[in-house]
A = this chain, B = another copy of it.
Amino acid sequence: MTRRFALIIDPVGASEERTDYADTFTVVDAAAPALSVGELSTQRGDGVFESIGVVDGHAQEVIPHLERLANSARLCDLPVPDQEQWRQAVTVAASECPAGEGVIKLILSRGVEHGPTPTAWVTAAPASDFRAVREAGVKVVTLDRGYGLDAAERAPWLLLGAKTLSYAVNMAALREAHRRGADDAIFVSSDGFVLEAPTASLILRFGDRFTTPAPTGGILHGTTQLSVYEHLAGRGFDAEYGRIPATDLSRPDAAWLVSSIRLAVPITAVDGAAVSVDHTLTAELNQYLLSPRD
């Protein structure tokens, strides 16, 4: 596949009894106009999304991604997507991915302004080549997310647990990291706790203990983090969730950013201070993440 594949989904009610959704899909030219200027996704960032990794035609962890999409939809008062319809759309999209790594994006938008229904589409494209960065790692800087750790619970309208299309701040944080000579950022709460990266989860290792920020604090629960935790538990490691003070970032025995497409990337420095890299475990994690997972 040299170009992007795109499929518009006509969202149907989850109550409808059907087994084949092919007639609700319309393949479109991804390079040609497909969305109207009245789209609320584009006017208001009003919608939710998921990015799914594809390896040799196999879409990774489709159900966890669809469950998170449904959860994001609920948090945004969007109609909850029909899981089977979306699963079939992902299957079609995955079949368009050639050998190697790809990315499938699912987007559920509020729809066209004053329109009757949400707009939904799925795209598939070859992934960027992340093999080098998985070995070399990334330098990160910490950036204040502005919110206290309790903001999510206190103010659900901040949508902190939803993967919305309103990612301008996440993108600005990445640009700020680049300005500071780093590759990526880690958000820290205004009261000094570690949160997440703009497009990845954080896992820290202290001895044989692994820890990641508890998703109660208004961060997204990472599907790749969950998958890595399952793997680590199977290996007999202690893998836990916690409130992690930002000061802990200066002394881990190893640290990773993990996400669905770039997978496990070792952190080599935080705010200019070197972090040691566990090359063996990193390679093993990525080997696992590149194996077929459901």
A144 beta carbon closer than 8 Å to chain B = yes
A247 to B175, CA, bound (A): 38
Q: How far is the CB of A87 from chain B (nearest CB, A)?
A: 20
Residues of B within 8 Å of A170, CB to CB, are 44
A121 to B36, CA, bound (A): 11
- In the bound complex, do residue B190 and residue A151 qualify as a contact, i.e. CB atoms below 8 Å apart? yes
A165 beta carbon closer than 8 Å to chain B = yes
A6 beta carbon closer than 8 Å to chain B = yes
Residues of B within 8 Å of A162, CB to CB, are 168
- In the bound complex, do residue B35 and residue A105 qualify as a contact, i.e. CB atoms below 8 Å apart? no
- In the bound complex, do residue B168 and residue A164 qualify as a contact, i.e. CB atoms below 8 Å apart? yes
Q: How far is the CB of A40 from chain B (nearest CB, A)?
A: 8
A43 beta carbon closer than 8 Å to chain B = yes
A196 beta carbon closer than 8 Å to chain B = no
- In the bound complex, do residue B43 and residue A107 qualify as a contact, i.e. CB atoms below 8 Å apart? yes
- Determine the residue in chain B with the shortest Cβ distance to A198: B157
Q: How far is the CB of A8 from chain B (nearest CB, A)?
A: 8
Specify which of B4, B31, B33, B172 is in contact with A159 (CB 8 Å cutoff).
B172
Residues of B within 8 Å of A132, CB to CB, are none
A57 beta carbon closer than 8 Å to chain B = no
Within 8 A of B (CB), among A156-193: 156-159, 162, 164-173, 175-176, 190
Tell which of A39, A42, A77, A158 has the most Cβ of chain B within 10 Å. Answer: A42
A235 beta carbon closer than 8 Å to chain B = no
Specify which of B42, B123, B148, B172 is in contact with A165 (CB 8 Å cutoff).
B42
Specify which of B30, B44, B148, B173 is in contact with A157 (CB 8 Å cutoff).
B173
Residues of B within 8 Å of A147, CB to CB, are 146-147, 190
List the 4 closest pairs (A to B, CB-CB), nearest first: A45-B45, A166-B166, A166-B168, A44-B167
- Residues of A near any B CB (own CB < 8 A): 4, 6, 28, 30-39, 41-47, 49, 76-77, 105, 107, 109-110, 121, 123, 143-148, 151, 154-159, 162, 164-173, 175-176, 190
- In addition to A31-B36, A44-B45, A76-B172, 6 A-B residue pairs with Cβ atoms within 8 Å of each other are A32-B33, A33-B35, A33-B36, A43-B105, A44-B165, A146-B151
